[in-house]
Amino acid sequence: MSAYVPHPEDHFTFGLWTVGNIGRDPFGDPVRAPIAPARIVQQLAKLGAYGVNLHDNDLVPRDATPAERDRIVRDFKQVLADTGMKVPMATTNLFGDPVFRDGAFTSNDARVRAYALKRTMSAIDLGVELGAATYVFWGGREGTDTSAAKDPRDGIKWYRDAINYLCDYVRAQQYDLRFAIEPKPNEPRGDIFLPTIGHALAFVYTLDHPEMVGLNPELAHDTMAGLEFSHGVGQALDAGKLFHIDLNAQKPGRFDQDLRFGSEDVKGAFFLVKLLEDARWTGMRHFDSHAYRTEDEQGVWDFAAGSMRTYLILEDKVARFNADAEIQGLLNDLRSRGGADSPERFSAEGAQTLKDRAFDLDAMRATGYAYEKLDQLTMEILLGVR
Ligand code: GLT
Ligand code: MN
Ligand code: MN
């Protein structure tokens, strides 16, 4: 049995901004010193991660000269080469600079919208130079604080114009890069455009190149909206649009906590891991979360190690669930219930047969589904007694 030790093949990644989180919050100052990107890469490599992801300015300060930028990137590539770590995903910080206070691609100021494109093209160049295959768009500032400010149809149109523009840029540069939109309902804006997986999926199919654009759903964001994350992820998988995933934990009805994966709602985390593993999804398991504000640097590495270890423990629980004779017996009963005669495709003849068919409704109404038993057996696996 696995000792729950992570390896690069597990595809675990962290953002420079996650491990590097200095514990600032709206009410309090930073509690930890910044950790240099090189040190983050070295430590995560030791812990068994596959790679790191970054915003443009996580690595290159906003005011760096071109020469400084080149030196920073060269040194960073050397650390990647030395450790074998990868940069599978990159993104742009389109939320920190006050210029983006009304959004980036959806600001009412056309100069801001143009500047956001310029920034993103440079950041895409950087990501591709570091080897990224996925480029994330988290529209934290895209939205409104008052609906008086914007007609949502304008917001969505500007958003579409920007993604279309950037798809054309990637094509013109002949980059091998896919885009992943990350939905979030609110925070930091009062209301964010493309608030859920469903909104983002529908938006993708209105783009000029829908094949280039998928999703980067985040557990905390769906939980904030009171949604069952694994259902949204399942829908993205079904559509072939799960390009990336942000794993963390979250209590419902709160600000975006970005807690260590599995540290809240263990059952929800289990069914998410089950979904990804049963689907043999090959993407990056990215932890978009950070250590509690109470922690020092050792706590940060405990957080990182714990995130991966919990995923591997849940993976082992999934294997137990899938091999459990009693659980599989219950599931087989459910799957074979009613025989194989449920019509999948319409035909005129089949519809007539169905119209003529007699159902034993009393028997159907009276039969339970044994989900109490199924759930209890699941809980016993999770609680370690099965
Ligand atoms: C920010 C946000 C995350 C996004 C990151 C990518 S930045 O930390 O809270 O959900 O994934 O831009
Ligand atoms: Mn979050
Ligand atoms: Mn995220």
Residue from 59, 100, 138 to probe ligand 1 pocket by mutation (most atoms less than 8 Å from CB):
138
- 379 burial (CB, 10 Å; 0-12 / 13-18 / 19+) is middle
Ligand 1 atom closest to 93 (CA): 12
Ligand 1 atom closest to 246 (CA): 11
**What is the number of the ligand closest to the CA of 15?**
1
Ligand 2 center–CA 258 separation, angstroms = 5
Please work out whether the CB of residue 182 comes within 6 Å of at least one atom of ligand 1: yes
CATH of domain 2-323: 3.20.20.150
Please work out whether the CB of residue 310 comes within 6 Å of at least one atom of ligand 1: no
Cβ pair 159, 202 in contact under 8 A: no
Quick one: pLDDT at residue 217?
99
The domain limits of the chain are: 2-323, 325-382
Please work out whether the CB of residue 102 comes within 6 Å of at least one atom of ligand 1: no
Separation of alpha carbons 290 and 261, rounded Å: 10
Name the β-bridge partners of 130.
none
The residues annotated with a catalytic role in the active site are 55, 58
The pair of structure tokens assigned to 275 is 């979904």
Ligand 3 center–CA 218 separation, angstroms = 5
Please work out whether the CB of residue 222 comes within 6 Å of at least one atom of ligand 1: no
Among protein residues, the one whose CA lies closest to atom 12 of ligand 1: 138
The pair of structure tokens assigned to 244 is 């990336």
- pLDDT, tens only, 190-231: 999 999 999 999 999 999 999 999 999 999 999 999 999 999
**What is the number of the ligand closest to the CA of 17?**
1
Quick one: pLDDT at residue 339?
77
- pLDDT, tens only, 62-108: 999 999 999 999 999 999 999 999 999 999 999 999 999 999 999 99
Quick one: pLDDT at residue 130?
98
Q: Which residues in the chain come in under a pLDDT of 50?
A: 1
